[in-house]
Amino acid sequence: MEHDKFAQVLRDNGVEVFYLEELVTSALSDEQVKVEFLEEMLSESKINSPSLREALMQYLLSMSTRDMVDKVMSGIRKEEIKINEVTSLADLIMDDYPFYLDPMPNLYFTRDPGAAIGNGITLNKMQTEARRRETLFLKYIHKYHKDFKEANVPLWYDRTLPFSIEGGDELVLSNKVVAIGYSERTSPEAIEIVAKKLFEKPNSKRFLFLKYQNAEPLCT
């Protein structure tokens, strides 16, 4: 309720508001892209049993695209799907665990998986494995949503890179200055990659690297 009111205040002041679910739904409008997304999501969710994987695929593909997106975000409980056969030893060991597909409660913090810097975005590698699936939504928006695809939006960082970086550590101070904090969630290697990408941008001016412990500039 509070979020909806805040969004309406933004609209009343001329801001165009986008919801993640709507952007993902639009990006997955093509059936082949939807299947590609689900295959990648199930793989990153460690769904390795062929029979369980097939059951989850059929269950999700039976829904409308918007309902499917919401279900992937909210998770799939075991009582939602009937699996008639024992799929693996791991399934037996985890028999008391309530979910086949884990929910993503931290997706609420949408800036962490990706952040906008200028006319481009960082598609981040989350520090904890539990949150890494979240960036898949942004990947498919960037790759397949017409507003991003047609605009050729630059990618300052890619989620496939080995070093972690999260949007909570990325701060746009002005149209010429970006600060990225080195923290337990953002590695110096990732910061350097983003910095090099931004320096390649025409008219780039300055990069500020902050270490969180004392917030003293390490380099400019």
Query: Does the model's pTM come out above 0.75?
Result: yes
Q: What is the pLDDT of residues 199-217, one digit of tens each?
A: 887 665 555 555 554 444 4
Under DSSP, the state recorded for 16 is: P
Q: What is the pLDDT of residues 26-60, one digit of tens each?
A: 999 999 999 999 999 999 999 988 889 999 999 99
Instruction: Enter the CATH code of domain 107-219.
Output: 3.75.10.10
Going from N- to C-terminal start, the domains of the chain cover: 2-103, 107-219
String of DSSP letters for 112-152: TTEEEETTEEEE---SSGGGTTHHHHHHHHHHH-HHHHTTT
Compute φ and ψ for 172, nearest 5 degrees: -90, 105
Please state, in angstroms and rounded to a whole number, the distance separating the CA atoms of residues 159 and 85.
35
Residues 94-107 have a mean pLDDT of 87
Tell the CATH superfamily of the 2-103 domain: Arginine deiminase (1.10.3930.10)
CB 20 within 8 A of CB 104: no
Residue 127 is predicted with a pLDDT of: 94
Q: What is the pLDDT of residues 121-179, one digit of tens each?
A: 999 999 999 899 999 999 999 999 998 888 888 999 999 999 999 999 999 988 888 89
Under DSSP, the state recorded for 186 is: S
